Structure 1
Amino acid sequence: MLRNIINRFKALIDKDENGKKKIEGTVVLMKKNVLDFNDFNASVLDDFHELLGQKVSFQLISAVNGDPANGSQGKLGRPAYLENWITTITSLTSGESAFKVTFDWDNEIGVPGAFLIKNNHHNKYRKDCVFFSNKTYLPSETPVPLLKLREKELVDLRGDGTGELQEWDRVYDYAYYNDLGDSDKNAKYARLVLGGSSEYPYPRRGRTGRPPTKTDPSSESKMKLLMSLNIYVPRDERFGHLKLSDFLAYALKSVGQFLKPELESLFDSTPNEFDSLQDVLKLYEGGIKLPEGAVKNIRDNIPAEMLKEVFPTDGEGLLKYPMPQVIKEDRSAWRTDEEFTREMLAGVNPVNIGRLKLDPKVYGDQNSTIAKEHIENNIDGLTIEEAIKKNLFILDHHDAFMPYLRRINSTSAKTYASRTLLFLKNDGALKPLVIELSLPHPKGDQFGAISKVYIPAEQGIEGSIWQLAKAYVAVNDSGYHQLISHWLYTHAVIEPFVIATNRQLSVLHPIYKLLHPHFHDTMNINAFARQILINGGGLLELTVFPAKYSMEMSSVVYKDWVFPEQALPADLIKRNAAKFKTSNFGMAVKDPNSPHGLRLVIEDYPYAVDGLEIWSAIKSWVKEYYAELQSCWKELREKGHGDKKDELWCPKMQTHEELVETCTIIIWIASALHAAVNFGQYPYAGYLPNRPTISRRFMPEVGTPEYEELKLVLDKDYLKTITAQLPTLIGISLIEILSRHSTDEVYLGQRDTPEWTFDTKPLEAFERFGKKLAEIEDRIMTMNNDNKWKNRVGPVKVPFTLLYPTSEEFHNSVFLSSFLTPYAMHNSFPLQ
């Protein structure tokens, strides 16, 4: 069975021997299903003879001549069918096949504006598919022969809101996050429904229409095969054949289905601890020996093409991982205070310096216990008042976690809410002043928090305590990064934009052309994540400390999500309003005399410096690409982010400036912001001691045996506190897969084909956009090589390339859609 999407179509007008005009074209088909192991090696040629038996037909549709008998819809040409198999096209990937097709052409067809595909290969395909040419039109400007086709296409894409959607459907519709749990399997896997309530609001996901569970009518049942990758997404949103998306999907499935059980079995009979940091290094320098039976099981069940992706081995059954960049040049630099603070500005989560407030009526007094005497001797001779004006910053992981600590700490996790106060030195680098660790009051939330403050130390037991304090901060930052900065703020919030755009904007709409490349793979990876990663008992719950409360916690944070504040300038300005007692400080202030209209308070803030360059380039490009967007935006406000429809969370799209800002934010989130919080995962967090995700015991107290142990072997106690071996290995496997790139990525400022539009002005503007990004690359390279900027490379000698726009030389680069892979323009075709 073939995928009903044609990936590429090229045509050339010619004449046959009788002088009749013909349009000769090339059609590239791809195998429908590549996401199950037992179908991995299947070829599109399995059905070769059936394909050539007039099972798939193509008809040109006129853009200039209507058919009165068909409501003035464009005249249809005679059916054409797949002909000879073409083997000379070098751009084909494995699983793709090219065929020749020849259309009859006459003056009644005139200028073709689309073609109609009928798939008679199976009776499942109830609706024909229309592909339009790469010419954009607003609804009022659409040629009359194409207008009804345009409207019908949108009606088909919206569906009727009923029934279970099948793999051949192309329906875009909304649903709550009611598919995370699996109470039919076991009550411990039950999870809250997110979305549809003021208590647990959430962005909408794509509807699948599966029936409810037997035990909870409000929740959607899981797929029969839990580890299957065939969860419904609209046909046009499925991963491309055998590109990196598929390899990632296979790899993640393999981790959950084969590697995880074998590791669990291994650690049932061996100690669950790393005894030293050298033991951790063996993961990269030597590997972990798996039992022979485990190795055989993995090899027997994972296709050979995927084996090296999920089971790096030298033939001896060793599980061995690539050396993370954070320890490649220096094995101990990650432990320094300078690197600890630098990663807040240029690490895997450089977006989180700010503060929110808890409601004191519910949670009591949450004011910090950090006092003047904790910091006054460590602020380089400044007074407290002088330091507050421009030199003090805070990494606040108090408010998001405090409401959940009581429940989290009732499990095997033992962690704190944290605040880290930082001081900006004259050389542009930050240093930590104090770390405050807080727990809920034992008498109840209304009594506030019990807090303790720790100050930097390098030697003795005080140095050991300080290293542990930094570990608790890193645990919080890791959890917040994965659940909020990464999943919620770049994956979950974008899916409603994908759905609304496809339901309300025709592929002919210029704004569809602008946004579509940045959406590709979003729905597919999100659906896959709900099945294996963020589901109850999934890989994410296993590897981060909020565990079963992870998604619920992200829902509470979503309450404060406001769309305009996701613009980078607005985000930086908002963080300038963060308050620590009476202070007012942050990351940027408005300054009309500065580039981009902002002045950064920390001049050497790599994420902000590079990000503002990228942001401005995107906005300039969008300004040159303006059209109407009212219906799409109305639906997005009222349905896609429906839990916020009564809030002032987004503009009403009534002015040109609002449209430009909105499209810029969408593109920024889906490309640059996601790149900044995703592709640094393995370089920094692939070495878990640097970015632990779980803490398993509280800070040792004076007089306890644990406190006395700190006088002897710090590393062992450090490792006993942070992530254990099993979640470490699963976590490393997970982020090593998710941090990869393919060799055929399409970068920001590029498109996969020069014929992505016929419109001259957008093409010219896009060329200017590409040149601007090339200039930004040069500046980034220059700054990374300038020792003046201490935060761009740091003690670990890892240059900041997460926002490097296009160069393939750097694996941490910005892609059109940084969710996983390059995109293909599925619903349009070029005519040559």
Structure 2
Amino acid sequence: MHMFQSSWNDFSDFEKIFVRIKNTISEYVMQHWKEDFMFGYQFLNGCNPVVIRKCTKLPDKFPVTHEMVSVSLERDLTLEEEIQAGNIYIVDYEVLDGITPNSTDPCTLQYVEAPICLLYKTAKNKIMPIAIQLGQTPGEDNPIFLPTDGQYDWLLAKIWVRSADFQHHQTITHLLKTHLMTEVFAVAMYRQLPAVHPVYKLLIPHIRFTIAINTKAREQLICECGIFDKANATGGGGHVQLVQRAVKTLTFRSMCFPDAIKARGVEKKEDLPTYFYRDDGYLVWEATMGFVSDVVNIYYKSDEAVQGDEEIQAFIKDVCSFGMQDFDHCEFPKSLKTRTELIEYLTVVVFTASAQHAAVNFGQYDWCSWIPNAPSTMRKAPPKEKGLADVNLIIREPP
């Protein structure tokens, strides 16, 4: 940890700590993290494979023109024609806009940005970045960075996106949408379902340690002066703001894996044939739903049996009224009327606690241990013009 107290001189300096923790994937990341292919691939199968979406229309706040990106396009189509053909994707970290950056150490300024990144599916089905804007408001002081810019201008823009992705992943995708949501289900289960209830027995293997690990996180990770405060640009309260914002767009349907995939327009395998998070997720979702269905149909012989189970109905209501605080937007049901509804609901609980958490948690060493690929904090303001970036600007501590 003493190595983190001062800046280094070159990317190779990170190998001083990396040599002790590398594995096959992380070593590959170390060797290829600067490449556009590796940058794009992570939106599909990295730690945070839940933000890429089909671009059907360029937002006004991101004024990319065909002239800017024509050199990156491969099909003799205009940018608009590529969009209509379904070859353009977008990642927008708008949720980070205005989040208070970490100021727990008054001697070290830290920065949080909300970049937008345009991605292109090549003729060989690779996802490549073709334009990056580091802030949400277009203007002369917020240029659109392109692969045709200087080597370090483009690299720095990608690093800003990777840092934003790190914040989004840790706080929203991982903390909120797996740990905290699973705790909502766990608390309601312990309150409302006796240990002899078949649904309790179905759920307990998946959520038995949730409250314990979340308590540990509150004591050491996201607490005041915890690891978030010491190492993350969104520490010192920004992570709390992020959770509060993200909850406002969290719905029950967004917790259903197939619905979440379809909402981003990335459900078709022929459109994105290398989206393994989606493909494996579908298989695990169907397997989980099949198992849950078998269990439910053993104990509930009719829809009326579900309606008449006061303990199950209390469990469902507890999640909505206490866990989700009766937020109108969340659309969590307050009661269930059919076995089909119960099967889907319990599949969400099991899938969130197991498969979804595994997908966004277990790869952290692989993708984030090589620090330049996933910077937890940025200590200089984002560039407001092109042509200024070099290795020293990127690596060295600001004076």
TM-score by length of 2: 0.86
Which of 304, 319, 332 lines up with 1:650 in the alignment?
332
Displacement, 1:521? 0.9
The SS at the match of 1:625 is helix
Determine whether 1:632 maps to 2:315. yes
Q: Which amino acid aligns with 2:16?
A: K
Displacement, 1:385? 3.3
The residue that corresponds to 2:126 in the other structure is 429
Which of 435, 455, 474 lines up with 2:146 in the alignment?
455
Which of 69, 92, 98 lines up with 1:396 in the alignment?
92
- Counterpart CA distance in 2 for 1:327 and 1:575 is 28
Q: Which has the higher helix share?
A: 2
Which of 202, 207, 215 lines up with 1:519 in the alignment?
207
5+ residue gaps, structure 1, are 1-259, 286-320, 357-364, 442-447, 577-586, 590-598, 723-832
- Counterpart CA distance in 2 for 1:640 and 1:427 is 45
Displacement, 1:545? 1.2
Determine whether 1:384 maps to 2:384. no
Q: Is the 8 A contact 1:501 1:512 kept in 2?
A: yes
Displacement, 1:332? 2.5
Q: Percent identity?
A: 28
Determine whether 1:612 maps to 2:282. yes
Displacement, 1:537? 1.9
Q: Is the 8 A contact 2:324 2:330 kept in 1?
A: no
Q: Deviations over 1:472-520 (max 9, x none)?
A: 0000000100000000000011112111111111111111111111102
Q: Is the 8 A contact 2:18 2:370 kept in 1?
A: no
Displacement, 1:388? 0.7
- Counterpart CA distance in 2 for 1:601 and 1:654 is 37
Q: Which amino acid aligns with 1:338?
A: F
After TM superposition, the structure 1 = structure 2 runs for residues 49-128 of structure 1, keeping only pairs within 5 Å, are none
Q: Is the 8 A contact 1:532 1:538 kept in 2?
A: yes
Determine whether 1:695 maps to 2:378. yes
Displacement, 1:416? 2.4
Which of 39, 44, 49 lines up with 1:345 in the alignment?
44
- Counterpart CA distance in 1 for 2:367 and 2:10 is 19
Which of 239, 242, 250 lines up with 1:550 in the alignment?
239
TM-score by length of 1: 0.43
After superposition, the Cα gap between the structure-2 partners of 1:366 and 1:489, relative to the gap in structure 1 and judged at 3 Å, is farther
Q: Is the 8 A contact 1:567 1:665 kept in 2?
A: yes
Q: Is the 8 A contact 2:249 2:329 kept in 1?
A: no
Displacement, 1:699? 4.0
The residue that corresponds to 1:272 in the other structure is 6
After TM superposition, the structure 1 = structure 2 runs for residues 152-171 of structure 1, keeping only pairs within 5 Å, are none
- Counterpart CA distance in 2 for 1:534 and 1:544 is 10
- Counterpart CA distance in 2 for 1:603 and 1:678 is 23
Q: Is the 8 A contact 1:353 1:393 kept in 2?
A: yes
Displacement, 1:403? 2.7
- Counterpart CA distance in 1 for 2:233 and 2:101 is 13
The SS at the match of 1:689 is helix
Q: Which amino acid aligns with 1:656?
A: R
- Counterpart CA distance in 2 for 1:623 and 1:330 is 40
The residue that corresponds to 2:15 in the other structure is 281
Displacement, 1:275? 1.5
- Counterpart CA distance in 2 for 1:439 and 1:330 is 29
- Counterpart CA distance in 1 for 2:384 and 2:80 is 34
Displacement, 1:657? 1.3
Determine whether 1:485 maps to 2:173. yes
The residue that corresponds to 1:418 in the other structure is 115
After TM superposition, the structure 1 = structure 2 runs for residues 240-251 of structure 1, keeping only pairs within 5 Å, are none
- Counterpart CA distance in 1 for 2:220 and 2:274 is 39
Q: Is the 8 A contact 2:102 2:229 kept in 1?
A: no
Q: Which amino acid aligns with 2:206?
A: H
- Counterpart CA distance in 1 for 2:382 and 2:330 is 42
Q: Which amino acid aligns with 2:90?
A: I
Q: Deviations over 1:762-785 (max 9, x none)?
A: xxxxxxxxxxxxxxxxxxxxxxxx
Q: Is the 8 A contact 1:505 1:632 kept in 2?
A: yes
Displacement, 1:703? 9.5
After superposition, the Cα gap between the structure-2 partners of 1:703 and 1:342, relative to the gap in structure 1 and judged at 3 Å, is closer
After TM superposition, the structure 1 = structure 2 runs for residues 157-556 of structure 1, keeping only pairs within 5 Å, are 263=2, 272-285=6-19, 321-329=20-28, 331-354=30-53, 367-380=61-74, 381-389=76-84, 390-397=86-93, 399-404=94-99, 412-438=109-135, 451-457=142-148, 462-548=150-236, 549-556=238-245
Q: Deviations over 1:82-127 (max 9, x none)?
A: xxxxxxxxxxxxxxxxxxxxxxxxxxxxxxxxxxxxxxxxxxxxxx
- Counterpart CA distance in 1 for 2:54 and 2:127 is 18
The residue that corresponds to 1:569 in the other structure is 258
Larger radius of gyration: 1
After superposition, the Cα gap between the structure-2 partners of 1:558 and 1:698, relative to the gap in structure 1 and judged at 3 Å, is same
Which of 263, 267, 287 lines up with 1:588 in the alignment?
267
- Counterpart CA distance in 1 for 2:188 and 2:7 is 48
- Counterpart CA distance in 2 for 1:440 and 1:416 is 11
After superposition, the Cα gap between the structure-2 partners of 1:660 and 1:373, relative to the gap in structure 1 and judged at 3 Å, is same
Q: Is the 8 A contact 1:689 1:719 kept in 2?
A: no
- Counterpart CA distance in 2 for 1:676 and 1:280 is 26
After superposition, the Cα gap between the structure-2 partners of 1:283 and 1:647, relative to the gap in structure 1 and judged at 3 Å, is closer
Q: Which amino acid aligns with 2:43?
A: M
Aligned length, in residue pairs: 376
Q: Is the 8 A contact 1:369 1:452 kept in 2?
A: no
Displacement, 1:450? 5.8
The CA RMSD measured in Å over matched residues stands at 2.9
Q: Which amino acid aligns with 1:657?
A: T
- Counterpart CA distance in 1 for 2:382 and 2:319 is 46
Q: Deviations over 1:17-60 (max 9, x none)?
A: xxxxxxxxxxxxxxxxxxxxxxxxxxxxxxxxxxxxxxxxxxxx
Q: Is the 8 A contact 1:425 1:431 kept in 2?
A: yes
Q: Is the 8 A contact 2:52 2:91 kept in 1?
A: yes
Determine whether 1:641 maps to 2:324. yes
Q: Is the 8 A contact 2:102 2:111 kept in 1?
A: no
After superposition, the Cα gap between the structure-2 partners of 1:433 and 1:405, relative to the gap in structure 1 and judged at 3 Å, is farther
Which of 338, 353, 359 lines up with 1:676 in the alignment?
359
- Counterpart CA distance in 2 for 1:529 and 1:575 is 30
After superposition, the Cα gap between the structure-2 partners of 1:351 and 1:535, relative to the gap in structure 1 and judged at 3 Å, is same
- Counterpart CA distance in 2 for 1:406 and 1:680 is 26
Q: Is the 8 A contact 2:101 2:110 kept in 1?
A: no
- Counterpart CA distance in 2 for 1:650 and 1:600 is 32
Displacement, 1:718? 2.2
Q: Is the 8 A contact 1:564 1:665 kept in 2?
A: no
Q: Which has the higher strand share?
A: 1
The SS at the match of 2:131 is strand
Q: Which amino acid aligns with 1:339?
A: M
Q: Is the 8 A contact 2:132 2:158 kept in 1?
A: yes
Displacement, 1:717? 3.0
Q: Which amino acid aligns with 2:360?
A: V
- Counterpart CA distance in 2 for 1:282 and 1:470 is 23
Q: Is the 8 A contact 1:402 1:440 kept in 2?
A: no
